[in-house]
Structure 1
Amino acid sequence: MPLTDPLDIAIVGAGPTGLALGIALARRGHAVAVLDHQDEAALAAPADDGREIALTHTSIGLLRAWGIWERLPDDAIGRIREARVTQGGPTSTALRFHASGKGAEALGAIVANHAIRRACFQTAAAQPGLRLLPGQRVQRVDIGVDHAVLVHGGGGRLPARLVVAADSRFSELRRQLGTGAASHDFGRTMVVCRVAHDSADHGEVAHECFGSAQTLAMLPLRGRFSSAVLTVPGARARRLCAAPAADFAKEIQRHFGDHLGPLRLAGERHAYPLVATYAERFAGHRFALAGDAAVGMHPVTAHGFNLGLQGVQSLAAALGDRMHATDPGRADRLARYEARHRRETALIYHGTNALARLYASEGGPQRLVGRLVLDAARRMPLVRAAITRQLVGASPTRF
């Protein structure tokens, strides 16, 4: 493609956020390309990485609007009817959140990350106006007055009026663009796996159990399976991942108790160091950041991908339709996105980090404060209602 004829938007990163953004913008008439260093086979059939994504009704609505939701098979979609938060095991007095009275049958859905990635790729591959460029690692970005140029692969050059970094919270493109990010390493590692509980049903209830220096979440999946998410110091995470399957299941059982009967490991274990990031700016001259490249969340409140989709919607709305916005890299449009996405994310990001630090502490005073916070929330219906609205989203829907 000649430099005199740049396309509208080039997105770096074909994860679910980057692909969703490409779809949303192409549906608005923009000419879009999505580049990724992975080859087409890896993008089309992503490996199971153990992560399960909790989706709000707002996110489900967006995925439906972009044609992605319908590509998820029914057996890949689980429901979260209720969430219970305790300091200790599930038998402790719980702070409960449920969808009763919110116009929804469930708080939200839970879908495997690799299933979402596959559905996003399938939708993107069929979307007119969207070019997928797999196997292309971006080597350099050159920002000019009226367009940017991505140098990729073996020296290929791709000009675009707007470049979007959507290449993870450790974004190399963000660094090349000269944009810093505040980073917080929690000193913890998240170990995720699927466990089976053949003798009891989870009732579509999600549990978040805060303990001394560790957190255990049990997320309901289809059938008598749950996703166990254990957050522990890094050295302990390595030992847990190397332990025999039966010993690992006993460790989960020790933290969770016998609420679901005997537990057994039903899948591979995956470990992810917990680092949260927040970019110092979300947009600049001829560029924008999306997804984790803009805001990389701690998973304790399950906001990460939902905020990413909210950012996709905000950026697409700010850029507008192609027939009314011939230059998507205009500064005023990017400034609208910057302001809106900062409003959407700042309080949630910093509040989540504070919560994660509070309940990760081994100190007695911090544990006492944690108990007081939960007790106060249990006694304040308006607080619970506000949190439930955040969990459910704006538009309850059936699924």
Structure 2
Amino acid sequence: MPYDVLISGAGPAGLCLASALSGRGLSIALVEQQPLPALAEPAFDGREIALTQASAATLQRLGLWDRIRAAEPNALAPLRDAKVLNGASPFALVIGHGLTQRSELGWLVSNHLIRRAAWEGVQDCIARHHDIEVLAGDGVAHLQPQAEQMHVTLASGARHGARLLVAADSRFSATRRAMGIGATQHDFGRSMLVCQMTHAQPHEHVAWEWFGHGQTLALLPMNDDPATGMPRASVVLTLPHQQIEPLLAMPDDAFGAEITHRFDGRLGAMLPASTRHAYPLVGVYPRRLVAQRFACVGDAAVGMHPVTAHGFNFGLLGIETLSAELLAAHAARRDVGAPGPLARYERRHRLATRPLYEATRLIATLYTAEAPPLRLLRGALLRVADRATPFKRAIAASLAGQH
């Protein structure tokens, strides 16, 4: 018998989709190249995820929120306000939580903790509903869509059928490529270095996006360091890749002094509190999100530049949209892989994501340009935006995930 849904990729998106579909009478399979121990104990990867209020609600419905909090009580840090700076100017565009109806714009949590909680959630679904099978240490090698089902051959040679195949295997999805679906890619020619840092001055739970000359800095406020009690944040430094490599190899004290200097000492002395990691900056948007008995979710559907912190939030939004369509079809005794539910998912997810994807690409291009006229223009734009309360309210609503 074929699976109802086969998901390629057991990262946070794939795991959350499996949990969202579980317990409703569907048979689900997860295919993942990593072995089971790596899924059960994901390693720290430097990435901190800024969750909107809508995403926090999704994690609460899936049971992940309580799992994260139970594992690490200080893991979920409120993100109350956000500010945008340009160059050496002391002026900042401030997006405050007061523009919304909440006491914070969102929440910050480490990516590896989301992955662990999502894996535990799937294990709980397996124990309670017996409707998810995990095929670890394997990957999708060949696809053959047919009228009644998708035929999937794995790298191990195992063959499976599914009414619907879902790609959740990164923005460079091999599964999406195997379906013949191309994507528009924008390589920003830069990489980002990410790590946790402690610092002398408090951050007041305010996120920074600082477009400097020759660099971009982001500060994501975390709860105080449990070992030292010092203020702690996730630092994201974006530079041409050849300038990132030496920073990865620096001794801790030299690296701390370097980051303190790059922040102009605005937070006092800064010291590394974690390992350092680097990732290339590439935005990806597929030409299609669905095909015959096929759909994309997570980064496979939208690979965002991190400047607006919407990548994982869009992933959760897509999971909510796709799972709602599939569960409605199944409840009505219709085929979950039929064109109708998939077309509705694609239309809704494109409308929700494409405008911000394109706007983010333009913002990142403008605010990393080094020509003097553009430096003046972006400073002027920040000041104009600061006086436009409706605009700031709209940005706050977007950061909070309110629609």
- Tell whether the structures are fold-level matches, with TM greater than 0.5: yes
Letter in 2 for 1:39: P
1:293-333 C-alpha deviation (Å, 9 max, x unpaired): 11100001100000010011111122234332441101011
2:75 alignment partner in structure 1: 76
In 2, the alpha carbon distance for the partners of 1:386 and 1:138 equals: 41
2:139 alignment partner in structure 1: 137
Where do 1:229-244 residues align within 5 Å? 229-244=236-251
1:157-191 C-alpha deviation (Å, 9 max, x unpaired): 11100000110011111110000000010000000
In 1, the alpha carbon distance for the partners of 2:232 and 2:173 equals: 34
State yes or no: 1:159 paired with 2:155: no
1:221 alignment partner in structure 2: 222
Q: Which of 159, 172, 175 lines up with 2:174 in the alignment?
A: 172
Moved more, 26-35 or 334-343: 26-35
In 1, the alpha carbon distance for the partners of 2:324 and 2:256 equals: 46
State yes or no: 1:253 paired with 2:260: yes
In 2, the alpha carbon distance for the partners of 1:133 and 1:64 equals: 26
Question: Contact 2:99–2:392 (CA<8 Å) still a contact in 1?
Answer: no
2:94 alignment partner in structure 1: 96
Question: Contact 2:85–2:211 (CA<8 Å) still a contact in 1?
Answer: yes
State yes or no: 1:375 paired with 2:391: no
Question: Contact 1:200–1:260 (CA<8 Å) still a contact in 2?
Answer: yes
State yes or no: 1:111 paired with 2:112: no
In 1, the alpha carbon distance for the partners of 2:211 and 2:146 equals: 50
2:184 alignment partner in structure 1: 182
Moved more, 357-366 or 114-123: 357-366
Question: Contact 1:213–1:359 (CA<8 Å) still a contact in 2?
Answer: no
Letter in 2 for 1:161: R
2:11 alignment partner in structure 1: 15
In 1, the alpha carbon distance for the partners of 2:299 and 2:24 equals: 23
Moved more, 238-247 or 349-358: 238-247
1:210 alignment partner in structure 2: 211
Where do 1:285-296 residues align within 5 Å? 285-296=292-303
1:341 alignment partner in structure 2: 349
State yes or no: 1:38 paired with 2:46: no
1:391 alignment partner in structure 2: 399
In 2, the alpha carbon distance for the partners of 1:375 and 1:28 equals: 51
Report the alpha carbon displacement of residue 125 of structure 1 after superposing the two structures with TM.
1.2
| 3-state secondary structure, aligned to 1:72 | helix
Letter in 2 for 1:19: L
Question: Contact 1:195–1:228 (CA<8 Å) still a contact in 2?
Answer: yes
Report the alpha carbon displacement of residue 153 of structure 1 after superposing the two structures with TM.
4.1
Report the alpha carbon displacement of residue 259 of structure 1 after superposing the two structures with TM.
2.6
Q: 1:136 to 1:97 in 2, by over 3 A?
A: same
Report the alpha carbon displacement of residue 152 of structure 1 after superposing the two structures with TM.
1.3
Taking only the aligned residue pairs, the percentage that are identical comes to 43
Q: TM-score, normalised by structure 2?
A: 0.94
Question: Contact 1:298–1:353 (CA<8 Å) still a contact in 2?
Answer: yes
Report the alpha carbon displacement of residue 251 of structure 1 after superposing the two structures with TM.
2.2
Aligned residues: 389
| 3-state secondary structure, aligned to 1:96 | strand
Report the alpha carbon displacement of residue 101 of structure 1 after superposing the two structures with TM.
5.2
In 1, the alpha carbon distance for the partners of 2:254 and 2:367 equals: 25
In 2, the alpha carbon distance for the partners of 1:203 and 1:146 equals: 56
1:195-214 C-alpha deviation (Å, 9 max, x unpaired): 111x3322111111111231
Structure 1 residue runs of 5 or longer lacking an equivalent are none
Letter in 2 for 1:211: G
CA RMSD of aligned residues (A): 1.4
In 1, the alpha carbon distance for the partners of 2:265 and 2:333 equals: 58
Letter in 2 for 1:203: E
Report the alpha carbon displacement of residue 123 of structure 1 after superposing the two structures with TM.
0.1
